[in-house]
């Protein structure tokens, strides 16, 4: 029996890239290296999954017949990318290969034989919480500034969603040296407490405009994974099990030193200092005095640099040392004109707040020098 799908090349390539971007090969789960096309009831869906996550995307296409097939995405996607903006027809009459046709081009690619395979939509799901998509995406982006890359401590590679008082949710990322926190507000009380691995979540949120105005979080009864449902895709991810560091103690520390400064001036100064800090153990020194911040390096092999930024400062002279990369990464996220810095001492956690967005908080641990 012949089955086929006819689709615009750009739409197909976008779906392939979204589904295959987070795949991780696994000998235990062979379907994790491949993508799955499902055709039924005049509908077509493309899916991919691995041990940790999976994604399903409906395709805007003409469908003939019912059935499914698996293909390796590498050469498949590379070939589709060469077809320009033409309409593409994919068909098969056997379980061994598919035929791809577009204009005057034609190719055959072997299918991958996989028995069964988890479908992304399968599994018990309980209704959860509806988020405004743009709020959800922006909060994850903000948290990602501090998410750990090193996977030796899995809990630090995730984004935490935790209910807070006043009908709100805190969204948090931390690598142990810094912390990014945002607050999302709702019309009613919400009960959430889960830790999502950042990498697969970021893959799902690529080209997020297609998700729709809202997205829904759904849960399984065991609490081991969640589904995120948008207008054009369904995604599941296994949650990280473990205790996220207690960040509330940092938030409640008493503010002794407080300064405000122009964000663009400070960003420019850190960029200048960074050229020399790279050869000075990555350290940028910040000396706070009334009306100014003196930013400089010391002991650089290739030389040293200094810059002065005007500030409103209410305390005694204070010297702080930071990893310059942390300052740069934070300042890239700032959109407001003024940043507030708050801390209780030279080695205490330092809070940075964009005055125009007080529901966003970033904390950096200073370095002992």
Query: Mind listing the pLDDT tens digit for each residue in 4-21?
Result: 999 999 999 989 988 877
Per residue in 158-214, pLDDT (tens digit) is 999 999 988 999 999 999 999 999 999 998 888 889 999 998 898 888 777 778 899
**Averaged pLDDT for residues 274-284:** 92
Please give the pLDDT value at position 118.
58
Assigned token pair, 158? 């995730």
Note the pLDDT of residue 27: 43
Residue ranges of domains in the chain, CATH in brackets: 3-110 (3.10.150.10), 126-249 (3.10.150.10), 253-364 (3.10.150.10)
Residues in the chain: 369
Helix axes 9-20, 73-81, angle to 10 degrees: 150
Q: Is the pLDDT of residue 136 over 50?
A: yes
Which residues is 173 bridged to in the sheet?
Answer: 180
Are the C-beta atoms of 257 and 305 separated by less than 8 Å? no
Tens of pLDDT, residue by residue over 33-59, are 789 999 987 889 999 887 788 888 999
Q: Reply yes or no on whether the pLDDT at 25 is more than 60.
A: no
**β-strands 53-59, 3-8 pairing:** unpaired
Q: Tell me the sheet residues that pair with 280.
A: none
User: How far, CA to CA in Å, does 345 sit from each of 87, 175, 286, 310?
Assistant: 64, 21, 13, 21
Burial of 280 (0-12, 13-18, 19+ CB in 10 A): buried
Look at 27-31, 120-124, 348-352 and tell me which has the smallest mean pLDDT: 27-31
Q: Kindly indicate the confidence band of residue 318, based on its pLDDT and cuts at 50, 70 and 90.
A: very high
**pLDDT on residue 124:** 61
**pLDDT greater than 90 at residue 312:** yes
pTM: 0.86
Q: How does pLDDT run across 75-99, given as a tens digit for each residue?
A: 999 999 999 778 999 999 887 899 9
Summarize pLDDT for 145-158 with one digit per residue, the tens: 999 998 889 999 99
């Amino acid at each position: 029996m012949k089955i086929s799908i006819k689709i615009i090349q750009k739409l197909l390539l976008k779906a392939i890239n979204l589904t295959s971007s987070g795949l991780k090969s696994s000998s235990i789960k062979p379907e994790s290296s491949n993508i799955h096309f499902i055709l039924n009831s005049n509908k077509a869906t493309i899916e991919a999954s691995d041990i940790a996550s999976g994604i399903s995307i409906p395709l805007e296409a003409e469908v003939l017949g019912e059935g499914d097939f698996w293909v390796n995405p590498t050469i498949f996607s590379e070939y589709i990318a060469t077809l320009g903006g033409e309409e593409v027809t994919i068909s098969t009459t056997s379980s061994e290969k598919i035929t791809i046709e577009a204009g005057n081009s034609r190719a055959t690619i072997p299918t991958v034989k996989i028995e069964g395979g988890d479908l992304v939509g399968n599994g018990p799901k309980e209704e959860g919480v509806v988020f405004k998509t743009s709020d959800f995406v922006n909060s994850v982006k903000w948290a990602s500034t501090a998410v750990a890359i090193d996977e030796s401590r899995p809990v630090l590679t995730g984004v935490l969603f935790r209910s807070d008082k006043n009908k709100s949710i805190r969204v948090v990322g931390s690598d142990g040296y810094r912390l990014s926190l945002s607050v999302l507000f709702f019309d009613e009380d919400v009960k959430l407490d889960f830790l999502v691995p950042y990498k697969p979540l970021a893959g799902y949120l690529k080209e997020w405009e297609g998700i729709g105005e809202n997205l829904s979080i759904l849960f399984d009864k065991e609490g081991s994974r969640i589904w995120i449902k948008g207008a054009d895709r369904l995604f599941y991810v296994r949650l990280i099990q473990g205790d996220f560091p207690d960040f509330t103690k940092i938030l409640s520390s008493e503010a002794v030193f407080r300064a405000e400064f122009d964000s663009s001036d400070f960003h420019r100064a850190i960029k200048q200092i960074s050229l020399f800090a790279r050869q000075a153990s990555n350290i940028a020194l910040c000396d706070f005095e009334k009306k100014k911040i003196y930013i400089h390096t010391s002991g650089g092999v290739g030389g040293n640099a200094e810059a002065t930024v005007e500030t409103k400062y209410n305390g005694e002279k204070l010297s702080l040392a930071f990893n310059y990369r942390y300052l740069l990464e934070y300042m890239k996220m700032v959109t407001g004109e003024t940043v507030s810095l708050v801390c209780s001492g030279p080695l205490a956690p330092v809070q940075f707040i964009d005055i125009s967005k007080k529901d966003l908080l970033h904390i950096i641990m200073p370095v002992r020098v």
